[in-house]
Amino acid sequence: MKITDLKCTVLGNNPVIRISTDAGICGLGQAEIAKYYLKPHVLFYRDFILGEDPTDVERVMLKIRRVGAFKPWGSAVSAIEMALWDIAGKAAGLPVYKLLGGKVRDRVRIYNGAVRPPMNGASPQDFADAMTKMKAAKEGFSIIKQGIAFHSKMVTAVPDFFYGEIANEQGISFHSQRANAVSDSNPGDGVKESWGGSHRSYDLNRGLMTERGLKHVIACVEAMKDVLGDEVGLALDCGPGMVVPDAIRLAKALEPLNIMWLEDMITGDYMPYVQADLYREVTRSTSTPIHTGEQIYLAQNFKDLFEKQAINVVGPDPCDVGGIAELKRVAEYADLHGILIAPHGVGDGLIGLAALVHVSATLPKNYIAFEYPVGNPEWWYDIVDGLPEPIVKDGFIDVWDTPGLGVELNVEKSKPYLPEEDKDFFD
């Protein structure tokens, strides 16, 4: 079998790739939502993989893996890897999890990342109200993650939250803002235009927190725990942007609350480096589990975090780390060091969801849960065939057995949403 084409389009605000073969089998992959700008990057790799046998996944990946990088520049490589596994599974008549070594579990636990009500403000009551709604969600989540501190609107809503200039008025990452901003975007050509706006900056809010800021964070976490009790686990996405002394103070203050993990306090989202020594200082100072890793590309770049015992939980994203086999490699490497894994996935869309289900079914016992992505815009649920209904039951997804990733874009239903320039996407 030979690869005959690689195409990329942006469906809604989701970059989707399609690899075709001379056997008539096609594979799908996708990058995180909000990365419409990746299309030329995906197509850059096309000439390197044409004519290759897609079922020799690793041999194909060796041709392109070296020209990738930390988020967002590992996304195209990751999406291609995913699509190769999809083809290999279809060619063998087997679900992708079988090709990755087979199931360790029949159902995979998820945690809530993407199912969240809009919040009015950043007071303890606002956070408690959000938890009440998420605890009642039909998915029955057993773990909920919430953004706080530099990963929330506290930065602007709390006067003098930190000793620094506000670089980003929303107090959250560019990625999150845009993902929310376009959730109701029009299909097709309208999408790119809807990505403009006055907050177009990747600058980061970062610095020493004030005592008032720290106390506010702790009060909000206490209010959330009052709602969740010991029935639903609470994980907290905190930055990036905190300094080591604040990270230690926060982690120690929260010790009595049995938080599942504190994520990305120092580095994380869109930061092209790791700072393992700083994480180690925090991790060695507290019993609260410390988590990072969503932006990291390739297993090699986790080396310092693992070998220095710098974190307790790692959160690679299959759409950024280099793909699903790469994610499994990271999970096994983490397990050798007693480090847990909770893969990131909030923006991975419904094809990414399929990839997360397959790889998570195969991970070692250090697996906790992956971050559940939703279809965005909502019409994504109409154009994807193959997902279970309902997708989530009691906080778990049953692993499905259809060949490949087991999800397909319904051609007729998808076509109206294709941008004008990509009308030949399915040809």
Quick one: DSSP state of residue 404? B
Size of the site for Mg ion (CB under 5 A): 2
The answer to whether 371 contacts Mg ion (rule: CB under 5 A) is: no
Integer Cα distance of 359 and 371 in angstroms: 13
Q: How far is the CB of 319 from Mg ion (least distance, A)?
A: 13
The answer to whether 317 contacts Mg ion (rule: CB under 5 A) is: no
Q: Site for Mg ion (CB under 5 A): which residue of 237, 320, 326, 371?
A: 237
Containing 45, the helix (H) or strand (E) segment is none
Distance of CA 104 to the CA centre of its chain: 22
Tokens of 56: 């020799």
The answer to whether 32 contacts Mg ion (rule: CB under 5 A) is: no
Cβ closer to Mg ion: 158 or 262? 262
Q: Map residues 195-234 to x or -, x wherever contact with Mg ion holds by CB under 5 A.
A: ----------------------------------------
Integer Cα distance of 143 and 141 in angstroms: 5
Integer Cα distance of 142 and 64 in angstroms: 38
Q: How far is the CB of 263 from Mg ion (least distance, A)?
A: 5
Cβ closer to Mg ion: 237 or 348? 237
Contacts of 170 (CB under 8 A, 6+ apart): 153, 156, 176, 177, 199
Tokens of 350: 């419904």
Interacting positions 82-141 with Mg ion (CB under 5 A): none
Q: Map residues 378-397 to x or -, x wherever contact with Mg ion holds by CB under 5 A.
A: --------------------
C-beta separation of 291 from 235 below 8 A: yes
Cβ closer to Mg ion: 97 or 111? 111
The burial class, CB within 10 Å (0-12 / 13-18 / 19+), for 103 is: middle
Given the rule CB under 5 A, which of 106-114, 154-162, 237-245, 375-383 is the region that contacts Mg ion? Answer: 237-245
Q: How far is the CB of 208 from Mg ion (least distance, A)?
A: 21
Q: How far is the CB of 71 from Mg ion (least distance, A)?
A: 11
Interacting positions 239-268 with Mg ion (CB under 5 A): 264
Cβ closer to Mg ion: 237 or 320? 237
Integer Cα distance of 17 and 28 in angstroms: 6
The site for Mg ion (CB under 5 A) is made up of 237, 264
